Homo-oligomer: A and B are copies of this chain.
Amino acid sequence: MTTMRITTRYPHPHTNERNSKTHLRHLGHRHLLLAVTALLLLQLLQLLHLLQPCAPTQSNHATALKQTLQIHVNVTKNTHIKQRRPNTTRGLRRPPRSMLKLPKGTRDFGPQDMALTMALIDKVKTAFKIHGAVEICTPVFETTDALKNKYGEESKLIFNLQDEGGEALSLRYDLTVPLARYMGSHNLDKIKRFQIGKVYRRDQPTLNKGRFREFYQCDFDICGSNLAKMAPDAEVIKAMEDALESLKLDYTISVNHRGLLSALANISGIPSSLFVSVCASIDKLDKKDPEFVIQEIVQKGVSLSSAMDFVSRVTLQIDKGVSGVSGMLDRILEQNQKLSQIPKAIQALEDLRLLTQYLQQMDGLGRVRLDLSLARGLDYYTGVIFEAKLNHKVGVGDGVGVG
Residue A189 is within 8 A (CB to CB) of chain B in the complex: yes
Which residues of chain B have C-beta atoms less than 8 A from A164's C-beta?
202
Beyond A64-B71, A135-B118, A185-B108, is A146–B100 a contact (Cβ under 8 Å)?
Answer: yes
Residue A162 is within 8 A (CB to CB) of chain B in the complex: yes
Residue A169 is within 8 A (CB to CB) of chain B in the complex: yes
Within A187-230, the residues touching B (CB, 8 Å) are 187-193, 198, 200, 202, 214
A79:B134 contact, CB within 8 angstroms: yes
Which residues of chain B have C-beta atoms less than 8 A from A71's C-beta?
61, 64, 126, 129
Residue A75 is within 8 A (CB to CB) of chain B in the complex: yes
Q: A129 vs B79: C-alpha distance in the bound complex, in angstroms?
A: 10
**CB of A143, distance to nearest CB on chain B (Å):** 6
The 7 closest A-B pairs by CB, nearest first: A64-B67, A111-B134, A106-B139, A109-B137, A100-B184, A160-B162, A84-B187
B-contact bits for A18-30, CB 8 A (1 contact / 0 none) = 0000010000000
In the complex, what residue of chain B is closest to A138 when comparing beta carbons? B108
B64:A60 contact, CB within 8 angstroms: no
Residues on A close to B: CB < 8 A? Answer: 13-14, 17, 23, 60-61, 63-65, 67-68, 70-71, 74-76, 78-87, 96-104, 106-111, 113-115, 117-118, 126, 129, 132-143, 145-146, 148, 159-164, 166-167, 169, 171, 181-182, 184-193, 198, 200, 202, 214
Q: Which of B87, B109, B134, B185 contacts A114 (CB 8 A)?
A: B134
B68:A64 contact, CB within 8 angstroms: yes
A143:B101 contact, CB within 8 angstroms: yes
Beyond A98-B145, A146-B99, A187-B86, is A134–B181 a contact (Cβ under 8 Å)?
Answer: no
Which residues of chain B have C-beta atoms less than 8 A from A75's C-beta?
129, 133-135
Which residues of chain B have C-beta atoms less than 8 A from A85's C-beta?
187
B103:A13 contact, CB within 8 angstroms: no
Q: A88 vs B178: C-alpha distance in the bound complex, in angstroms?
A: 24
21 interchain pairs, CB-CB under 8 A:
A64-B64, A71-B126, A74-B129, A76-B134, A79-B134, A81-B134, A81-B193, A83-B186, A83-B187, A83-B188, A84-B188, A99-B181, A103-B139, A104-B167, A106-B139, A107-B139, A109-B137, A109-B138, A110-B186, A111-B134, A161-B171
Q: Which of B86, B113, B185 contacts A101 (CB 8 A)?
A: B185
Which residues of chain B have C-beta atoms less than 8 A from A115's C-beta?
134-135
A193:B103 contact, CB within 8 angstroms: no
Beyond A106-B141, A162-B160, is A84–B185 a contact (Cβ under 8 Å)?
Answer: no
Task: Name, among A63, A85, A98, A161, the residue most crowded by chain B CB atoms within 10 Å (CB to CB).
Answer: A161
B139:A13 contact, CB within 8 angstroms: no
In the complex, what residue of chain B is closest to A118 when comparing beta carbons? B135
A103:B187 contact, CB within 8 angstroms: no
